[in-house]
A = this chain, B = another copy of it.
Amino acid sequence: MTHIQTIIEELTATVMGKAFVMRLMHMGLDAYVVGETVTANLREGDLLIVGSGSGETKTLIPIVEKAQQLGGTVAVVTINPTSTLALLADLVVKLPGVPKEQTALADETVQPMGSLFEQTMLLFYDALILQIMEDKQLDSQTMYGKHANLE
């Protein structure tokens, strides 16, 4: 079965990726967060999702290259579709926001650093979940049955 692996550049963005991966798991998909204890290895045909506001994080570049060498498809969720990571990717999702490193780009915001990007990322992922639920005819009750029962 195809694995979906999520890795996210910005530390707070990692957080949004984890919420997304947990819902994918609730739907019965084989999804992982890069760097957790039981993360499976990426195989040919797997999808790696990279979230990066600026699209320029240097530590993510060798990971994207490795995933492509292994035959994986790479999707980048970013503010900047002409960034290094976006240009490497097989698929790019452009979200509004201001990268945490800058103060006056694209969409103006009163919010600090990457907050706007994190919010739109969470809402984008949650909207994707609703779409997949509809496609798979799943409801909340069925998904809850897969939620960790020890916490």
Contact = CB atoms under 8 A, between A and B. Distances in A.
Interface of A: 5, 7, 9-12, 15-16, 18-19, 21-23, 25-26, 31-42, 48, 57-59, 62-63, 66-67, 70, 100-101, 103, 110-113, 115, 118-119, 122-123, 126, 129-130, 133, 138-141, 143-151
B34 A18 contact: no
A38 B34 contact: no
Contacts of A25: 37-38
Given A21-B38, A32-B38, A100-B147, 13 more contacts: A21-B37, A23-B113, A33-B38, A34-B148, A41-B149, A41-B150, A48-B150, A59-B59, A66-B150, A112-B130, A112-B140, A113-B147, A115-B129
Contacts of A42: 149-150
A21 B141 CA distance: 29
Q: Give the number of times this chain occurs in the complex, counting copies.
A: 4
B35 A37 contact: no
Contact of A141 (B62, B103, B115, B141): B103
In the A-B complex, the 8 residue pairs with the closest CB atoms: A58-B62, A112-B140, A41-B149, A15-B15, A12-B19, A39-B148, A25-B38, A59-B59
